[in-house]
Amino acid sequence: MESRRAIAWSWRNVAHGVMLALPAVAASVFDPSLGLPLAVGVLPAAALGLRSTRRERALVILVGVVAGASIFLGSLVAARAVLAVALVFVLCVVVAVMTADPSRRLAPLMLMLGLPLYGAGLSESSWAAGLAAGLLMVGGSVYGWLVSLAWPEGERARRPARVPASRTTMLAYGVQIGLAGAAGAALGYAFGVDHPGWACTAALLVSRPDTRLLDARGWGRAASVVLGSVVACTIAALSPSHSAIAVLVLLTLAAGSGTSGSRWYVFPFFSTVLVLSMLLLDESESAAHWFLERVALTLLGVALALLAAWVVPPVAQRALSAAADSGRSP
């Protein structure tokens, strides 16, 4: 089987990305608070690309619903710090354990996308803002599916066989990401930052169940998320006009779609730029203040994710070994 290129490029996918971006671009010219959630809503379609059948492309609607519901849920509890932090941990554990059951096909999606966007929802100013953002994401995903139908269908997407993990393994992983995400949210609230879910989102964007992948390529994903955060902060610090934001949305979705088949972690850079740009609208603090704060929170979230990945699995393994030994004792 031919391996993917480190950084892939497809003009066909670029054209797809331009089409996906059109509603978000048009909305951003008038109000970026409408355009950016629409752009986030089409990210699943950009990531999936055109390497699938039309039936498989309908999956992006489901992804949009999960994304919208997650950010809305986060916005519902954002004003209650203790509940918000506790719920991060509980959701991580429950969703991780659910992925051990192959029949729960939504669980991996919730693990990879829903949990980070719950963290993003903690940064919404109100539940109404969270609901509006969620509905725009769903609308963007529906548009993304409709656009994909204009292209001939490809072969059925080749995905690696899902190797089921034991409930015990996924329970340990749930505790791992739960601690990282909850710690990120707790520190955000404790520091009194405007976006308490920022570090939580960064931690959950970086985390992956396969420890070997985290060891081998975790730094690449972490670098992609951090660089995307820096770019989003830089753009916001320049206070671009609505038209400039619209152009940036167009370029981000076009480039993200064009490189969607890359082996390296390129797409997380583009998705991070859009997701975090959505949270940076209407900043009241000085640019220098929140620029340093946001970058620091991103680094904090990444550090928490990597620390939890290195600490929790060995501790869980020792606990399991001790339990097994005690069970064999007469």
For residue range 114-167, what is the model confidence (pLDDT) as tens digits? 898 899 899 888 899 899 989 988 998 899 888 888 877 766 555 555 556 788
Burial class (CB in 10 A: 0-12, 13-18, 19+), 186: buried
Least Cα distance to 172 among 311, 302, 19, 8 occurs for: 311
pTM of the model as a whole: 0.79
pLDDT value at position 216?
45
Least Cα distance to 176 among 97, 244, 247 occurs for: 97
pLDDT value at position 95?
92
Q: How many angstroms separate the first and last alpha carbons of the chain?
A: 52
Q: How far is CA 230 from CA 2, 110, 174, 201, 223, in A?
A: 34, 26, 28, 15, 10
Q: What is the mean pLDDT of the chain?
A: 81
In this predicted model, what pLDDT tens digit does every residue of 240-296 receive, in sequence order?
889 999 999 999 999 988 887 776 678 878 887 887 777 666 555 555 566 667 778
Tokens of 14: 């670029």
pLDDT value at position 22?
93
**Angle between helix 287-328 and helix 211-237 axes, rounded to 10 deg:** 170
52-56, 83-87, 123-127, 253-257: least confidently modelled range? 52-56
Q: Which amino acid is at 255?
A: A
